[in-house]
Amino acid sequence: MNIVKDHIGWIEVICGSMFSGKTEELIRRMRRVQIAKQQYQIFKPTIDDRYHHKYIVSHNKSKLGSVQVKSSKQLYESVRKETEVVGIDEAQFFDEGLVEVCQKLANEGKRVIVAGLDQDYLGRPFHPIPELLATAEYITKTLAICTQCGNPANRTQRLVESDEEILVGEKDIYEARCRKCFQPMGEKK
């Protein structure tokens, strides 16, 4: 029985701490889109310069072709009319306009899959993910493993001193922590 009528769009959000498998999950969903032979495009913000510019890459190195865009406006303008599924990685680095852009794309009948960090290095909501969570039809929270105690982890510990909310990095300056082991800078004794 097919309960999805017409070409209705929707928003899916995949969020969690670093090393929790967000990009991995986005790639998994997009591979199924490929198998279904649907038209898709994947975007990421220009700011994420960790890996090759033409791919989204998970921590365990699986990757899929993507296009870098400077803003949510440029993202919207880059989406082709015939595209059925839009994937977006590192969404926390986009401007606030991303929420409206995702809404518009979903209203146009597209499936929008967005992955990003829900909390920053202090455990504060990382905008615009909270606003996307409020508007999404489907939400997946991914958990990492705490590097200190092995419990499920939903926080990201920054290991270097910096007050910047945006600080691109990997295992060298971040690790996953559970709420018990998480020690945001400034609260350290």
Which of 4, 5, 7 has the alpha carbon at shortest distance from 110? Answer: 7
Binder of ligand TMP out of 34, 165, 171, 180 (CB under 6 A): 165
Selected range binding Mg ion among 16-24, 37-45, 100-108, 118-126, rule: CB under 5 A: 16-24
Binder of Mg ion out of 23, 72, 119, 142 (CB under 5 A): 23
Please state the φ and ψ torsions of residue 13, each to the nearest 5 degrees: -115, 135
Contacts of 170 (CB under 8 A, 6+ apart): 50, 59
Report in angstroms the alpha-carbon separations of 184 from 20, 122, 136, 162: 19, 5, 29, 11
40 binds, among Zn ion, ligand TMP, Mg ion, none (CB under 5 to 8 A by kind): none
Selected range binding ligand TMP among 31-39, 142-150, 162-170, 175-183, rule: CB under 6 A: 162-170
Q: Does 20 bind Mg ion (CB under 5 A)?
A: no
Binding mask 118-157 for Zn ion (x = CB under 5 A): ----------------------------x-xx-x------
Q: Does 17 bind Mg ion (CB under 5 A)?
A: no
Report, as residue numbers or ranges, the catalytic residues: 90
Q: Does 182 bind ligand TMP (CB under 6 A)?
A: no
User: Considering beta carbons, is residue 173 or 181 the nearer one to Zn ion?
Assistant: 181
Residues binding ligand TMP (CB under 6 A) = 18, 22-23, 50, 117, 120-121, 156, 165-169, 174
Residues binding Zn ion (CB under 5 A) = 146, 148-149, 151, 178, 181
